[in-house]
Each structure stands twice: as C-alpha cells, then as structure tokens.
Amino acid sequence: MLANLLTQDDVEKSIVHLLRSAAEYKSWCVRYMVDDKFTDPQNADPHITLTHLFPSFQASLEDHEAEVRAAAAAKVREFWQNLPKDSQELAIMRDILVHLKDLVSDANQHVKSAFASVIIGLAPVLS
C-alpha cells in the first residue's frame, strides 16, 4: 500500500484525509471499497488508527447500506487486532461492542454472515 512508502506526517496529511472523504462518499460502492481495505493503513501506521480511522470504522458498522456494513463486519477482528495493544480491550468494550450487538441482529443475512465469520476471533477479549 502507498501508506507504507510515506512518512507518518505524509500519511496523516494525505492518506487519512483521502480515506475519510471516501468513507463518507455518497456512493455506497466507494464506501464498500474503503471498508474492504480499511486495515491496510493500520498496518502502515498504527498511530493513525485511534485518532483518524476509528470514527470512520464505527460509521461503517452503522451504514445504511448492507453491503457496507457487511464489509466492515468482516474486518472487525482484523481492525481490533491492529489497534495499539494497550487500547484493544477498552476500544472493543466501550466503542465497538454496541455495534456488534446490532450486527448480530441485523436484518440482512450477508451482514450476519460476515460478522459470524470473525466473531470467534473476538471471543478472547469478549469472554
């Protein structure tokens, strides 16, 4: 990914702004593609996750389009694992758990299926 080649300042100035804009884009197809690749910038720079990516990820879990929610649901475990270790438990329990409850009872079968494929990986933290 491009973010691996840039400095932290460049990532925060360029990539983060681009991701935020795309995550709020009118077309669901664009938001879907952002969610599908959401964890790539985390791998490049874990620092940007809590400050810049977390709000967009939460919004994706609540998106009005089922395809976008399904893409985000499929990334919940990987997103959580890429959070800074000292923030993982608090983030999942305080900020993500409420969305997980909604995903379990989502009206769309694809959303439930995407989430079901990653829920086992969250078991250790959710106990």
109: confidence class by pLDDT, cuts 50, 70, 90: very high
Q: Using one digit for the tens of pLDDT, what is the confidence trace for 37-62?
A: 878 777 766 667 777 788 888 899 99
Q: Is the dihedral of CA 95, 108, 122, 4 positive or negative?
A: negative
CA distance 83 to 122: 13
- Structure tokens given for 85: 């270790």
Q: In degrees rounded to 5, what are phi and psi of residue 100?
A: -65, -40
**DSSP state letters, 56-101:** HHHHHHT-SSHHHHHHHHHTHHHHHHTS-GGGHHHIIIIIIHHHHH
pTM equals: 0.81
Q: Map out the domains of the chain as residue ranges.
A: 2-126
Is residue 28 over pLDDT 60? Answer: yes
Amino acid, res. 117: S
Instruction: State the number of CA atoms in the 13 A half-sphere of 26 facing the CB.
Output: 0
